Amino acid sequence: MKVNNFGYLVKEGFRGIFSHGLPSFAAVCVTVACLLIVGSFSVLMYNVGIMVEELNKTNEILVYIDAELPDADARSVGTQINRIENVQNSVFVSREEALEAFVAEHQGDSAFSGVEATDLRHRYVVTLMDNTKMAETVVDIEEISGVANISAAYELAEGFSTIQSVVRIASIAVIVALLFVSLLIISNTVKMAMSDRKDEIGIMKMVGATNGFISFPYLVEGFVLGIFSAAVAFGLQWLLYDLLVARLAAVDTLQLFSFVPFTRLLTPMIITFTAAGLFVGIVGSLNSVRKFMDV
């Protein structure tokens, strides 16, 4: 393809978009909608990941020390706990401190008024690096002499990773399905544009235009539709996200949810939308062009 034809071919591509105003508009709308949903699931997936990570940090293991063990020995158990691979850190809580916390928590509750420090045990509050390996780590800690028993919330840890994988699988399924839908829509628009100019294409083939030359305007058409849809979807996504975060912040006084600001997602979102737009635009039009290129 010579450089002096490039302008002509690009112009032909744009002509295609405007001479099929309505189908092009419809294709952009559907693609924007699909990309928006895809984008929403991506940011949801991302935020759930961050939230689960945060929640996991607070998912601690309590390691109770044998009540018979002398205080000095109890404090040395900590060094052994810290030596275990998956342990991020461990904090010693003496029975006196534990009582203080207990009393503070159950203030005015007469049922617990008789509790003494000696009724409680020294303990370590252990946080792990990887909560999915909680069970193995607990076994390791149990083997340390002086450890009486351990209280760990396996279910919670598992629950978090289950939520995360459910969200991830659902998101990926939705993303793949909708990309496919956008692909079909753009592919169909380009196919319509091509069958409208079937005669022209026939003449081009007859006089010896190459397949590359014939298809280029339609690739431009798909490319522009894809990129334009991506840009619109990106803008809408930003608006919607900020709106949602603001609404959530107003309702969620307990701060159960923490969404990162959209500006922190800018680069990955631009890359995602551009890639998705390019993908559906180019692959969509290639798919139609291919069928027209025989003979």
Count of positions on this chain that bind another protein (CB under 8 A): 20
Cβ-in-10-Å burial (0-12, 13-18, 19+) of 194 comes to buried
Q: Which stretch binds another protein (CB under 8 A): 80-88, 104-112, 196-204, 247-255?
A: 196-204
Residue 14 binds to another protein (criterion: CB under 8 A): no
Question: Per-residue contact track with another protein, 150 to 189, x per CB under 8 A?
Answer: ----------------------------------------
CB-based contact 220:12 (threshold 8 Å): yes
Q: Provide the 3-class DSSP secondary structure of residue 126.
A: strand
Q: Rounded to the nearest whole angstrom, what is the least distance from the CB of residue 208 to another protein in the complex?
A: 4
Neighbouring C-alpha atoms within 13 Å toward the C-beta of 269: 27
Instruction: Kindly give the pairing relationship between strand 87-93 and strand 123-128.
Output: antiparallel
Our CB check for another protein shows the closer of 104 and 206 to be 206
Our CB check for another protein shows the closer of 206 and 246 to be 206
Pairwise CA distance, residues 82 & 173, whole Å: 41
Our CB check for another protein shows the closer of 111 and 206 to be 206
Pairwise CA distance, residues 184 & 201, whole Å: 22
Q: Rounded to the nearest whole angstrom, what is the least distance from the CB of residue 218 to another protein in the complex?
A: 14
Q: Rounded to the nearest whole angstrom, what is the least distance from the CB of residue 165 to another protein in the complex?
A: 47
Our CB check for another protein shows the closer of 5 and 118 to be 5
Query: What one-character-per-residue DSSP string does 22-62 give?
Result: HHHHHHHHHHHHHHHHHHHHHHHHHHHHHHHHHHHHT--EE
- Reduced to 3 DSSP states, what percent helix, strand and coil does the chain have, rounded to the nearest 5? 75, 10, 20
Our CB check for another protein shows the closer of 202 and 261 to be 202
Q: Rounded to the nearest whole angstrom, what is the least distance from the CB of residue 47 to another protein in the complex?
A: 50
Residue 222 to residues 117, 141, 278, 284, Cα–Cα distance (Å)? 74, 60, 8, 7
Q: Which of residues 276-295 bind another protein (CB under 8 A)?
A: 295
Per the DSSP assignment, residues forming a β-bridge with 123 are 64, 93
Residue 8 binds to another protein (criterion: CB under 8 A): yes
Q: Which stretch binds another protein (CB under 8 A): 70-78, 134-142, 195-203, 247-255?
A: 195-203
What would the two tokens of residue 43 be?
């940011």
Residue 253 to residues 52, 90, 221, Cα–Cα distance (Å)? 19, 31, 48
Our CB check for another protein shows the closer of 85 and 200 to be 200
Residue keyed to tokens 């014939």: 214
Residue 4 binds to another protein (criterion: CB under 8 A): yes
Contacts of 116 (CB under 8 A, 6+ apart): 99
Q: Which of residues 198-237 bind another protein (CB under 8 A)?
A: 199-200, 202-211, 213-214
Our CB check for another protein shows the closer of 3 and 246 to be 3
Q: Which stretch binds another protein (CB under 8 A): 1-9, 67-75, 256-264, 273-281?
A: 1-9
Our CB check for another protein shows the closer of 79 and 210 to be 210
What residues line the site for another protein (CB under 8 A)? 1-2, 4-5, 8, 199-200, 202-211, 213-214, 295
